[in-house]
Amino acid sequence: MLIKLTGGTVYDPASGIDGQQQDIYIQDGRIVDAPTDGKPVDQEYDLRGKVVMSGAIDMHTHIGGGKGNIARTLLPEDHRMDPVARTSVTRSGNGHAMPSTYVAGYRYAEMGYTAGFEPAVLPINARQAHMEMGDMPILDKGGYVLMGSDDYLLRMMTAKKDQKAINDYVAWTLNAAKGIGIKVVNAGGINAFKFNQRKLDLDEQNVHYEVTPRQILQTLARAVKEIGLTHPLHVHGCNLGVPGNVDTTLNTIQGVEGLPMHLTHIQFHSYGTEGDFKFSSGAAQIAEAINKTPNITADVGQILFGQTVTASGDNMRQHANHKYASPNKWVCMDIECDAGCGVVPFKYKDQNFVNALQWAIGLEIFLLVDDPWRIFLTTDHPNGAPFTSYPHLIRLLMDRSFRNDMLATIHPEAQKMTTLASIEREYTFNEIAIMTRAGAARIIGLKDRGALAPGNWADITVYTENADRQAMFTKPDFVFKDGELVVKDGEVVKVTWGTTHIVKPDYDLSVEKDLQAYFDKYLTMKLGNFKISDDEITEDGRGSLTTHPLRGAA
């Protein structure tokens, strides 16, 4: 079937198209050139006056895995307020902060998103992450495999194994857990918490392994580069949420010797200690450092006011932050000599000085980082806010007067501590399209996604332009996934199943010799039973795997 999208105003930064009126043709799920052989168009959509972008890609969202299911189970009261009834095409479920998988898929699609990436796939919990994402309709998905607090890596580092051996282990793990990138959470800190360390600075040693976070970051960033992954090492830094952590973050930016590194939810790592409350914005310094350091990218992890739940691998920091739990209940887990997790419900309040300033810090970072290809729109769902708040966040970025109206309502002391009111920048459609589409696809390493040139998969979102950007981005007119119309007027009309994006880097097979001995001696599972096979993703008849090329191998 040949579909023609006629006359829309196209924003396709990957192709350098910034608001030009263009026709787009779709056939067999992909965007194709205009037919030259007189082939008739089977279906035409008149998009004159509409805004056309590729489907949005959330490059950091907690959508699959154990901590998310703990968060769901912990908060039945949060679901009760947001039930989602079954329809003739969709399944029932529940929403708000940590929605059920079906509801997450529908709601993402209804906002024009066509892919989401789980940033903390514990290797030992990867099966669950893939099973949950496998029950999330419409969206493509993938995960970053969490390393850096696993005892095997730390043992290797203590034993001074060479980089090649570590690269093999990293590549092996990535294959076994079926990920597309490598994530570090509080490098070595989750492990140190098991030895009763309650904080770990960048250059502080793990008491048992005598390895520092900086060494772990350098080692893994080098592994990622040498293995050839497109996605840079994805780093949740040390000292999350600690006033003064801006210094740690600046030190981290300089600390990886020019290797590619992505700093995630950087808002939570941009805090100074100035002012009466000893809590201040480090956004300007962070943005300046990012602007000056081309190997660094970041996503913001914006907080927005209201009830949510924080779910993180960083049980060291989550344990420290449990005193802010609202409602007052929380979970920490140590997990399988692999990692851990902490789940703490949060209610961010605009009349709370710290929360209000966190809000402003996030927006300052968005607006002060110059290059939209190196900064990404996230709330670290659900940690800063549920992903359903993205349209509101887009309005804050695109509409200065709206932003300043909101600013005028937050805690007055926080207003005094932010430069937000003086920042004139308003994001353009093109910049939004970069942050949420072209840039996201590029940094994840997705081939043939996030762009509208012929040859790409036809993941396309169509909006009606509206001065109220929140309304505009809440309810697209049409969303196409792999060329099929899945959303019309902001509602799911067809349920499809996206693919799972992975990489399969090579490794020396002999890596399994030591691993097998380690598994047999110390772990609770046989090595052969640990590795996830392809059929585990595909045997339900709707899952599929898409392997992306490594750098320089396209």
Partner 1 sequence: MTEITEIPSPFCGIGTDDLSIRVDGVALKVTANGCAVNTPAFEQAITDTQPRVAGQATSLETAVAKAAELMRNTRQPVIGGCSTDVNGMRALLAVADKTGAVVDNINFNAARRNLLALQDSGWMNTTLAELKNRCDVLLVVGCDPEAFAPRFFERYLWNDEAMFINDTASREIIYLGKAPSGNASTSPSGRKAAVLPCADADLPEVTAVLSALLKGRPLQAQSVGGIALAGLQAIVDKLKAAQYGVVIWGAGALAFDQAELTVQTLCNIVRDVNLQGNRCSGFPLGGKEGDQTANQVCGWTTGYPARVNFARGYPEYDPYLYDTQAMLKNGEADALMWVQTFNTGAVPPATALPTIVIGRSGMKFDKEPDVFIPVGTPGIDHAGHAFRLDNVVAIRLKKLRDSGLPSTAEVLAAIEQAL
Which residues contribute to the site for partner 1 (CB under 8 A)?
66, 68-69, 72-76, 79-80, 83-86, 91-94, 98-102, 122, 124-125, 127-128, 131-132, 135, 151, 193-196, 208, 319, 325, 328-338, 343, 521-526, 528-529, 532-533, 535-536, 539-540
Burial bucket for residue 350 (CB in 10 Å: 0-12, 13-18, 19+):
middle
Strand (E) positions, 13-162? 17-27, 30-32, 43-46, 50-54, 56-58, 83-84, 93-94, 113-121, 140-147
Q: Are 449 and 457 in contact (CB under 8 A)?
A: yes
The tokens for 215 are 């060494």
Smallest distance, partner 1 to C-beta of residue 72, A:
5
The tokens for 354 are 């710290």
Q: Are 492 and 539 in contact (CB under 8 A)?
A: no
Q: Please name the residues in contact with 517: beta carbons below 8 A apart, sequence gap of 6 or more.
A: none
Rounded Cα gap, residues 374 and 384, in angstroms: 20
The residue among 329 and 513 lying less far from partner 1, judged by its C-beta, is 329
Smallest distance, partner 1 to C-beta of residue 124, A:
6
Q: Are 287 and 321 in contact (CB under 8 A)?
A: no
The residue among 523 and 550 lying less far from partner 1, judged by its C-beta, is 523
In 3D space, the residue among 448, 438, 424 whose CA is nearest the CA of residue 372 turns out to be: 438
The tokens for 401 are 């007067």
Helix (H, G, I), strand (E, B) or coil at 362: helix
Q: Which amino acid is at 209?
A: Y
Smallest distance, partner 1 to C-beta of residue 389, A:
19
The residue among 55 and 313 lying less far from partner 1, judged by its C-beta, is 313
DSSP 195: T
The residue among 155 and 447 lying less far from partner 1, judged by its C-beta, is 155
Helix (H, G, I), strand (E, B) or coil at 31: strand
Smallest distance, partner 1 to C-beta of residue 307, A:
14
The residue among 309 and 502 lying less far from partner 1, judged by its C-beta, is 309
The residue among 13 and 66 lying less far from partner 1, judged by its C-beta, is 66
Backbone angles phi, psi at 475, to 5 degrees: -140, 85
Smallest distance, partner 1 to C-beta of residue 167, A:
23
The residue among 97 and 452 lying less far from partner 1, judged by its C-beta, is 97
Smallest distance, partner 1 to C-beta of residue 170, A:
20
Smallest distance, partner 1 to C-beta of residue 470, A:
26
Smallest distance, partner 1 to C-beta of residue 347, A:
16
Q: Are 214 and 202 in contact (CB under 8 A)?
A: yes
The residue among 68 and 255 lying less far from partner 1, judged by its C-beta, is 68
Rounded Cα gap, residues 51 and 112, in angstroms: 12
Rg (CA), the chain: 22
The residue among 164 and 526 lying less far from partner 1, judged by its C-beta, is 526
Smallest distance, partner 1 to C-beta of residue 128, A:
5
Return the bridge partners of 2, or none. 27
Q: Which amino acid is at 204?
A: E
Smallest distance, partner 1 to C-beta of residue 177, A:
12
Q: How many CB atoms lie within 10 A of CB 329?
A: 12
In 3D space, the residue among 231, 299, 212, 225 whose CA is nearest the CA of residue 257 turns out to be: 225
Q: Which residue has the tokens 């959330």?
A: 58
Backbone angles phi, psi at 36, to 5 degrees: -110, -5
The residue among 27 and 101 lying less far from partner 1, judged by its C-beta, is 101
